[in-house]
Chain A
Amino acid sequence: MEGELSGVLNRRCVEAAVMTGLALNCHINKKSLFDRKHYFYSDLPAGYQITQQRLPIAANGHLTYSVYMGKKRSQMTTKTVRIKQIQLEQDSGKSLHDDLRSQTLIDLNRAGVGLLEVVLEPDLCCGEEAAIAVRELQMILQALGTSQANMAEGQLRVDANVSVHHPGEPLGVRTEVKNLNSLRFLAKAIDYEIQRQITELENGGEILNETRSFDYKLGCTVSMRDKEGKQDYRFMPEPNLPPLVLYDATSLPADADSQQVVNIDQLRDMLPELPSATRERLVQQYGILPEHSFTLLNEVGLLEFFQSVIKETRAEPKRVINWVLNTLLYYLKQQNLAVSESPVTPAALAELLDLLDSKAISSSAAKQVFEELWKGEGKTAAQIVTEQQLELMQDREALEQLCQAAIDGHPQVVMDVKNRNPKAINKLIGLVRRTSLSRADPTLIKEILERKLSL
């Protein structure tokens, strides 16, 4: 509005910037400056954006992420991308282009809101790597409470600068790719752009230093042809915001009002557990594999689900993780559901695992129960077991009798077993199972048969 001075600095923004800088191993600049970046655009009501071009709040950090490769994705490599800088900025408004009516609608609700821009160095080599690195950044931001970092909701906006070059040669001309509202599209757009540039260069063409938009319907990048050539943003120091001064334990004045100053060391002490530390801790705490830990964090809500189940079940973590990753997650992925949309609650899964653990049911019965639970009809695991008569036979004597009956009824198979035919024992076990209506534990059946046949 007219007469409003550009931005009074929001303390929470500064704290968020410092914490993010610390989490990304950056050097925090005790003094940073604000500038105006001038350009005319309908979603920029002031005609300039306040940013930190000369001296940002943090610089020279790095982000470490893990890439899982190999068939079973069990080969893990650690990679690093350097953080060039983190700067505080103002957001612009949002433009919605209505090509049909040749008009543009401007939504100014978010104009002036504080933004944090994290600038990465060009160390990433492909779409997948970029997606993993950004995912790690997302998790860090969420752990810090800096941002919910949801790309679809615009809480985390990512622009990709892509260039190609032959090994040993300097970096090529880069294009900036915008309009990426998911990690999947980020990866896709980058890989498309890399290919486009390679093809273009191999055909003798050249790459223009331009901005391109990702068209997610067509799966390609499209030039956003700007009329201006090179923009001169006429940077000027922001006269209404004095230099931002941060303190640490050594430089803090004795009479400083803690409400007025931001203390880097104090914020460092307040840093929560970051994802990399969390993953380590989970491995130690539950005895699970690093790749399990990775998946637990990578899927939104999965860790919480896992931990809820652990709390309510007697089953061992190793068994829980198996069911969470191989069964639950599998089902979720099949139907493209988020963890929060799972029809099977942690409590339900915990109950199921207890039944399994106490050997009340067999593994295969458990799978059946799970599938029933997945239908989300409100029945508990115990109810399903009763309904479908899936309880394991507890009567040992009765089982012995069934085994004996099977032995007696199939002399040919017994002969094969005694002749050390490896498949024969399974056939016999299968027969017993059928007569037991699958209510016997196959391991127990095998044990009884072997004893009876004196193997």
Chain B
Amino acid sequence: MLGRTLREVSAALKQGQVTPTELCKKCLSIIKKTKYLNAYITVSEEVALKQAEESEKRHKQGQPLGDLDGIPVAVKDNFSTSGIETTCASNMLKGYIPPYNATVVQKLLDQGALLMGKTNLDEFAMGSGSTDGVFGPVKNPWSYSKQYRERQRHDEHGDSHWLITGGSSGGSAAAVAAYTCFAALGSDTGGSTRNPAAHCGLVGFKPSYGLVSRHGLIPLVNSMDVPGIFTRCVDDTAVVLGVLAGHDPKDSTTVQDPIKLPMILGEMDVSRLCIGIPKEYLVPELSSEIRSLWSQAADLFESEGAKVIEVSLPHTCYSIVCYHVLCTSEVASNMARFDGLQYGHRSGIDVSTEAMYAATRQEGFSDVVRGRILSGNFFLLKENYENYFVKAQKVRRLIVRDFMNAFDSGVDVLLTPTTLSEAVPYLEFIKEDNRTRSAQDDIFTQAVNMAGLPAVSVPVALSNQGLPIGLQFIGRAFCDQQLLTVAKWFEKQVQFPTIQLQDLMDDGSLVLENGKLTSVSLT
């Protein structure tokens, strides 16, 4: 059952071939077995089992709520969940229990999804490795895959060379990749869903800005954040997006229902497609393997009759700097509310309000967060505002225009790499600091956030090391359905292999035949 698509499992539930409780218990046991991945900060076992019980009642009465009823899901720990601790992997919010659900969480629950838990991340979603949270780093399940291990010369039982998941939504990625749930919510501000999706062999989707509500998503950069979706196949993403998309009166930045729901991805005539390849994305740092796969993908479309053309996004080279100025400025603003006064961590120092604030924020925030706050405040000072913030906004507009021009020239979808390389070992990743890594790793993804466009990373093939590589498709604003349709077609062509997770195979949870998942035991 675990290897099936969401719709298949949903059908099985409706037909009684499996019950929500069985599914739930299976996922909970896998969570326990894969605890070493550190994907979850909170496992909401009791909640999930209760939800499973209720889902079961509905199924017995023949009244399931929809395709997500009884389906285990996980949520990144920067989404508010009522009654369940929400920490953002920070000391600042340790012990914080929100009194309400984020809109997207509520929508999942209203459809009967089972909440398995809150997943790990970089502190306050700042980072590209999921290594900088107070609960420790997340390990990429592929570190323990047969595909990777058999190609390593290291001691198979040693653990010091485990790989990062990418970030900042690494916990959600690991949760889905390790079969602990069928879908997970992440967030995407500069690539935080697409990056770990690529490193973990998953579909990582970033919707158009304004399509999905941000109410309840603890904000990083209000003008760029979106909730992201992790699944094992494109069709599953469409199912989830169909539930999440839509105007929310609590979020003034959501648009009034611009797309048709539910989302059903039909067949696509590739010969009528025009794919754009941005030439500025061909950078020297790009690994030769990914460059090759990118090229092969372009050839694939062309061989099926699509028009594949080179386009130019001339302001690409300014994008990352511009992103940093705007990102840190908004971060400085959004983090101002953490003063320890009403919720979260409060320092014991109470000599004066100011002293308490300073100590609370020193104790509650990591260096990474504090660094961004200080930078952001610098850019927002009266004397700097014009030269940095306003200038960055102007450059942002140029970057948006670059994309518009590319689409206006007849391009339907852009095809780019998602990451510079496959997942790297943790020990190597930490050789550079968070800021450096973010600047490097966001290179293909952050311009999309600045333009508010939809984008999706689709797993393509394994590298020579046996690790996943993903490619990114970028679509026009609010053309999410078309984008996913292209991605679905592509996914079918490439037939990305299933992860052969030692633990799950050893106990018979996953049974593979020719690299494909055939059956799953639920005991």
Listed in ascending order, the chain A residues whose CB lies under 8 Å from chain B are 1-5, 7-9, 36, 38, 40, 42, 45-48, 104, 106, 108, 227, 232, 234-236, 239-242
A242 touches B80 (CB 8 A): no
B99 touches A1 (CB 8 A): yes
Stretch of B213-221, B233-241, B265-273, B489-497 contacting A (4+ beta carbons < 8 Å): B213-221
The 7 nearest A-B residue pairs measured at CB: A47-B336, A239-B222, A234-B380, A3-B80, A239-B223, A3-B216, A46-B337
Task: Report the separation of the CA atoms of residues A411 and B44 in the bound assembly, to the nearest whole angstrom.
Answer: 114
| Residues of B contacting A: mostly | loop
B102 touches A45 (CB 8 A): no
Query: B50: CB under 8 A from chain A?
Result: no
Given contacts A5-B214, A40-B354, A234-B377, contact A48 B336 (CB under 8 A): yes
Given contacts A106-B341, A242-B253, contact A3 B219 (CB under 8 A): yes
Given contacts A1-B100, A232-B381, A235-B385, contact A48 B333 (CB under 8 A): yes
A5 touches B215 (CB 8 A): yes
Given contacts A232-B382, A239-B223, contact A5 B218 (CB under 8 A): no
In whole Å, how far is A213's beta carbon from the nearest beta carbon of chain B?
Answer: 18
Query: B249: CB under 8 A from chain A?
Result: yes
Task: Report the separation of the CA atoms of residues A10 and B288 in the bound assembly, to the nearest whole angstrom.
Answer: 54
In whole Å, how far is A374's beta carbon from the nearest beta carbon of chain B?
Answer: 53
Task: Report the separation of the CA atoms of residues A242 and B252 in the bound assembly, to the nearest whole angstrom.
Answer: 7
By beta carbon, the residue of chain B nearest A108 is B342
Task: Report the separation of the CA atoms of residues A277 and B380 in the bound assembly, to the nearest whole angstrom.
Answer: 47
Given contacts A2-B93, A40-B354, A104-B353, contact A47 B339 (CB under 8 A): yes
Task: Report the separation of the CA atoms of residues A3 and B86 in the bound assembly, to the nearest whole angstrom.
Answer: 10
Task: Report the separation of the CA atoms of residues A36 and B380 in the bound assembly, to the nearest whole angstrom.
Answer: 11
The residues of B that contact A48 with a CB separation of less than 8 Å are: 333, 336
Task: Report the separation of the CA atoms of residues A449 and B473 in the bound assembly, to the nearest whole angstrom.
Answer: 113
B79 touches A3 (CB 8 A): yes
The residues of B that contact A106 with a CB separation of less than 8 Å are: 341
The residues of A that contact B93 with a CB separation of less than 8 Å are: 2
A1 touches B336 (CB 8 A): no
Task: Report the separation of the CA atoms of residues A104 and B385 in the bound assembly, to the nearest whole angstrom.
Answer: 34
B98 touches A5 (CB 8 A): no
A236 touches B102 (CB 8 A): no
In whole Å, how far is B428's beta carbon from the nearest beta carbon of chain A?
Answer: 34
A2 touches B98 (CB 8 A): yes
Q: What are 13 pairs between A and B in contact, CB < 8 Å?
A: A1-B100, A2-B218, A5-B214, A7-B252, A8-B249, A9-B252, A42-B341, A45-B342, A47-B336, A104-B353, A234-B332, A235-B382, A236-B380
In whole Å, how far is A438's beta carbon from the nearest beta carbon of chain B?
Answer: 72
The residues of A that contact B342 with a CB separation of less than 8 Å are: 45, 108
A3 touches B341 (CB 8 A): no
In whole Å, how far is A17's beta carbon from the nearest beta carbon of chain B?
Answer: 17
| Residues of A contacting B: mostly | loop
Task: Report the separation of the CA atoms of residues A353 and B94 in the bound assembly, to the nearest whole angstrom.
Answer: 74
B354 touches A2 (CB 8 A): no
By beta carbon, the residue of chain B nearest A238 is B222
Task: Report the separation of the CA atoms of residues A284 and B253 in the bound assembly, to the nearest whole angstrom.
Answer: 52
By beta carbon, the residue of chain B nearest A46 is B337
| Contacts A3-B217, A45-B342, A235-B385 supplied; 13 other A-B pairs, CB < 8 Å | A3-B79, A3-B219, A5-B219, A36-B333, A42-B353, A45-B337, A45-B339, A47-B335, A47-B337, A234-B380, A239-B222, A239-B253, A240-B222
A5 touches B353 (CB 8 A): no
The residues of B that contact A7 with a CB separation of less than 8 Å are: 252
Given contacts A38-B336, A40-B357, A46-B337, contact A3 B218 (CB under 8 A): yes
1/0 per residue, CB under 8 A from A, across B79-92: the answer is: 11000001000000
By beta carbon, the residue of chain B nearest A40 is B357
In whole Å, how far is A246's beta carbon from the nearest beta carbon of chain B?
Answer: 16
Listed in ascending order, the chain B residues whose CB lies under 8 Å from chain A are 79-80, 86, 93, 96, 98-100, 102, 214-219, 221-223, 249-253, 329-330, 332-333, 335-339, 341-343, 353-354, 357, 377, 380-382, 385, 389
The residues of B that contact A234 with a CB separation of less than 8 Å are: 332-333, 377, 380-382, 385
The residues of A that contact B341 with a CB separation of less than 8 Å are: 42, 45, 106
In whole Å, how far is A26's beta carbon from the nearest beta carbon of chain B?
Answer: 25
Task: Report the separation of the CA atoms of residues A48 and B331 in the bound assembly, to the nearest whole angstrom.
Answer: 13
Task: Report the separation of the CA atoms of residues A1 and B217 in the bound assembly, to the nearest whole angstrom.
Answer: 11
The residues of A that contact B98 with a CB separation of less than 8 Å are: 1-3
The residues of A that contact B223 with a CB separation of less than 8 Å are: 239
Given contacts A38-B380, A40-B354, contact A2 B250 (CB under 8 A): no
By beta carbon, the residue of chain B nearest A241 is B252
By beta carbon, the residue of chain A nearest B358 is A40
Task: Report the separation of the CA atoms of residues A106 and B102 in the bound assembly, to the nearest whole angstrom.
Answer: 27
For A2, give its contact among B96, B332, B357 (CB under 8 Å): B96
The residues of B that contact A242 with a CB separation of less than 8 Å are: 252-253
The residues of B that contact A45 with a CB separation of less than 8 Å are: 337, 339, 341-342
The residues of A that contact B219 with a CB separation of less than 8 Å are: 3, 5
The residues of B that contact A4 with a CB separation of less than 8 Å are: 215-216
Task: Report the separation of the CA atoms of residues A416 and B341 in the bound assembly, to the nearest whole angstrom.
Answer: 90
Task: Report the separation of the CA atoms of residues A285 and B448 in the bound assembly, to the nearest whole angstrom.
Answer: 68
Task: Report the separation of the CA atoms of residues A108 and B339 in the bound assembly, to the nearest whole angstrom.
Answer: 15
The residues of A that contact B250 with a CB separation of less than 8 Å are: 5, 8
By beta carbon, the residue of chain A nearest B357 is A40
The residues of B that contact A8 with a CB separation of less than 8 Å are: 249-252
A5 touches B339 (CB 8 A): no
Task: Report the separation of the CA atoms of residues A334 and B191 in the bound assembly, to the nearest whole angstrom.
Answer: 74
The residues of A that contact B214 with a CB separation of less than 8 Å are: 5
For B102, give its contact among A3, A36, A235 (CB under 8 Å): A3
The residues of A that contact B215 with a CB separation of less than 8 Å are: 3-5
In whole Å, how far is B87's beta carbon from the nearest beta carbon of chain A?
Answer: 11
In whole Å, how far is A191's beta carbon from the nearest beta carbon of chain B?
Answer: 34
B253 touches A240 (CB 8 A): yes
The residues of A that contact B335 with a CB separation of less than 8 Å are: 47
Report which residue of B99, B100, B338, B342 has the largest number of chain A beta carbons within 10 angstroms of its beta carbon.
B342
Given contacts A38-B333, A40-B339, A240-B222, contact A2 B86 (CB under 8 A): yes
By beta carbon, the residue of chain A nearest B222 is A239
By beta carbon, the residue of chain B nearest A233 is B382
The residues of B that contact A235 with a CB separation of less than 8 Å are: 380, 382, 385
By beta carbon, the residue of chain A nearest B250 is A8
In whole Å, how far is B361's beta carbon from the nearest beta carbon of chain A?
Answer: 10
In whole Å, how far is B327's beta carbon from the nearest beta carbon of chain A?
Answer: 12
By beta carbon, the residue of chain A nearest B81 is A3
The residues of B that contact A3 with a CB separation of less than 8 Å are: 79-80, 86, 98, 102, 215-219
The residues of B that contact A240 with a CB separation of less than 8 Å are: 222, 251-253
A5 touches B86 (CB 8 A): no
In whole Å, how far is A332's beta carbon from the nearest beta carbon of chain B?
Answer: 46
Task: Report the separation of the CA atoms of residues A240 and B252 in the bound assembly, to the nearest whole angstrom.
Answer: 6
Task: Report the separation of the CA atoms of residues A2 and B335 in the bound assembly, to the nearest whole angstrom.
Answer: 11
A40 touches B80 (CB 8 A): no
A239 touches B252 (CB 8 A): no
By beta carbon, the residue of chain B nearest A4 is B215
Task: Report the separation of the CA atoms of residues A36 and B331 in the bound assembly, to the nearest whole angstrom.
Answer: 13
In whole Å, how far is A32's beta carbon from the nearest beta carbon of chain B?
Answer: 15
The residues of A that contact B251 with a CB separation of less than 8 Å are: 5, 8, 240
In whole Å, how far is A444's beta carbon from the nearest beta carbon of chain B?
Answer: 76
For B389, give its contact among A46, A227, A236 (CB under 8 Å): A236
Task: Report the separation of the CA atoms of residues A242 and B209 in the bound assembly, to the nearest whole angstrom.
Answer: 13
Task: Report the separation of the CA atoms of residues A45 and B335 in the bound assembly, to the nearest whole angstrom.
Answer: 11
In whole Å, how far is B431's beta carbon from the nearest beta carbon of chain A?
Answer: 34
By beta carbon, the residue of chain A nearest B393 is A237
A2 touches B80 (CB 8 A): yes
A2 touches B385 (CB 8 A): no
Report which residue of A8, A106, A234, A240 has the largest number of chain B beta carbons within 10 angstroms of its beta carbon.
A234
For B252, give its contact among A5, A42, A104, A232 (CB under 8 Å): A5
In whole Å, how far is A44's beta carbon from the nearest beta carbon of chain B?
Answer: 9
By beta carbon, the residue of chain B nearest A228 is B354
Task: Report the separation of the CA atoms of residues A241 and B252 in the bound assembly, to the nearest whole angstrom.
Answer: 6
The residues of B that contact A42 with a CB separation of less than 8 Å are: 339, 341, 353
Task: Report the separation of the CA atoms of residues A104 and B353 in the bound assembly, to the nearest whole angstrom.
Answer: 9
Task: Report the separation of the CA atoms of residues A227 and B355 in the bound assembly, to the nearest whole angstrom.
Answer: 13
